[in-house]
Amino acid sequence: MASTMRVFLILLWTTNLVQRNVPQAAGVQVFPPVNFTLTVSALAQVLLHWKPNPNQEQKNYTIRYDVKILSPVPEEYDTKKTYSIQTAALHNGFSAHIRTLLLHNDLQMRSDWVKEKLLPLPGAPETSVTNLSCVTRITISSTVSLRCTWLPGRGAPEDTEYFLFYRYETYTEECQDYIKDKWNRNTECRFSVTHVDPEEVDKLIVIHINGSSKYAAIKPFQQLFNQNAIEKVNVPRNVTVFLEQNDLLATWEKPISPFPKECFEYEFYLFNLKSGNKQILKISSNDFRLWIDVTNRYSVQIRANHHICCTRGFWSDWSEIIYVGQNKLENPIAWILAVLCVSTYCTFLLVAIICKINHIWSKLFPPIPTPSNKFRDPFPNDYERARTCTSDLETEFGSFAEGLYCSALDNSVF
């Protein structure tokens, strides 16, 4: 095994030596490109440009260029052109190598690498934003809205103001609608309408956030988002659920989107309200049939996402709940209000009975006493005497009046 490995290494070294000596044997030298430059041409966009080496012999040879991106994201490719445009987050810098590739029949000859780099964007450490996230939505009018949120950097002073820009293709726009935190710092941005094309597939949205402060230089931050990967898909429309004998049938329409219905998949959520069992089924069509026990009651919801036409986005919200089956649930709010009303009435009735039995009402609300006579009688003795005399006179006068009445009655009869 060791001898076989040794022979293989010798053959590999011999092949490389022969290939390395071919240009010299052919009398051809490969020179690296010249005037290699990196230029920031837009937000998070770099133009790589170079020129062929004037000393390079081109007779009977095909010239191409190897391009190697070292940072921020490694990438390697070759091209016939003398320029290349790269979209990348540049806040931590950018570096690339390039070399000449000479092709003749099956022979490849390469020059040395030429290196160039962009320095990181200036700013104090830990002052740039963190936890940046963005979501897009397709509106009814077929435009795209954009919402981004972030957290201030740990080293950012309290007076830091952040400002957000987005770039899509050649269009760049600054945010005008911010949401602030308790320190009055911008931490959220909303675009009700953007220039993002909803019919495009997997195009990049560039987000650039810089800032200002009296006490520190705020370091900018950039991030790239695939427009379909951050799309919050709309809810399926016109969901209909009904029973056909022992089968549950459901139909719906695709979400608001320029993509055809074949580009979506769905999750069908079925919850048995009697047993508590639930099912989540993945479906690629716009209708569904399932056998169920119709003596039970169920709730049904549906949500959607991209499927095969583009990168998967965020699942939509669940559709409104639809109930099917026997003993269909009534409106829970109505039930709650009814229970509250009955409970309140019963409580008041019970309190009233208890108060009646224990005479609490008379204790809480005693009768109002009659007012006392605050003025003393100036002639108390005369009043008593007059009262006594009056009584005697009343007795005598009563006897006399009674005699007169009887006499008058006799005369009237006869």
pLDDT digit string, tens, across residues 51-88: 999 988 777 788 999 999 999 999 999 999 999 999 99
* pLDDT winner (highest mean) among 53-67, 168-182, 333-347: 168-182
Between residues 180 and 12, which one has the greater pLDDT?
Answer: 180
pLDDT in the model for residue 24 = 43
Phi, psi dihedrals of residue 197, rounded to the nearest 5°: -85, 115
Res. 393: pLDDT tops 80:
no
Average pLDDT over the chain, rounded to whole?
82
CA dist., res. 298 & res. 323, Å (int): 6
Say whether pLDDT at 388 is over 60. no
**pLDDT at 414 exceeding the cut of 50:** no
352 falls in which pLDDT band (50, 70, 90)? confident
Confidence of residue 353 (pLDDT cuts 50, 70, 90): confident
Q: How confident is the model at residue 95 (pLDDT cuts 50, 70, 90)?
A: very high
d(CA 396, CA 406): 16
pLDDT band at 355 (very low <50, low <70, confident <90, very high): low
> Rounded CA gap, 82 and 49, in Å?
6
* Residue 347: pLDDT band with limits 50, 70, 90: confident
Q: Is residue 373's pLDDT more than 90? A: no
Looking at residues 136-163, what average pLDDT do you find?
94
Q: What is the CA radius of gyration of the chain?
A: 48
327 pLDDT band, cuts 50/70/90, is: low
Position 342 scores a pLDDT of: 79
In the predicted structure, residue 116 carries a pLDDT above the cut 50: yes
pLDDT at 331: 52
4 pLDDT tier (thresholds 50, 70, 90): low
Q: How many whole angstroms separate alpha carbon 198 and alpha carbon 162?
A: 28
412 has a pLDDT exceeding 50: no
Residue bearing the bigger pLDDT, 401 or 254: 254
Give me the pLDDT at residue 346, please: 78
Question: How does pLDDT run across 308-320, given as a tens digit for each residue?
Answer: 899 999 999 999 9
**How far, in whole angstroms, is CA 104 from its chain's centroid?**
57
Q: What pLDDT is recorded for position 368?
A: 61
How large is the average pLDDT for residues 31-42? 95
Q: What is the mean pLDDT of residues 10-34?
A: 59
CA–CA gap between residue 149 and residue 380 (Å, rounded): 96
Distances (CA, A) of 212 to 174, 301, 369, 383: 15, 47, 79, 102
Shortest CA distance to 272 belongs to which of 249, 292, 289?
A: 292
C-alpha angle 120-125-130 in degrees, rounded to nearest 5:
95
pLDDT in the model for residue 295: 87
Q: Look at residue 329 and tell me whether its pLDDT is greater than 90.
A: no
Residue-level pLDDT at 407: 40
The amino acid present at 73, given as its one-letter code, is: V
Average pLDDT over residues 252-262: 94
Q: What amino acid occupies position 213? A: S
Give me the mean pLDDT over the 105-119 stretch: 91
Query: Is the CB of residue 233 less than 8 Å from the CB of residue 311?
Result: no
Residue pLDDT, tens place only, 260-305: 999 999 999 999 998 899 999 999 999 989 998 888 999 999 999 9
Q: 207 or 6: which carries more pLDDT confidence? A: 207
Residue of higher predicted confidence among 92 and 382: 92
> What pLDDT, on a 0 to 100 scale, did the predictor assign at position 359?
62
Residue 108, pLDDT score: 86
Quickly state the pLDDT bin for 160 (edges 50, 70, 90). Answer: very high
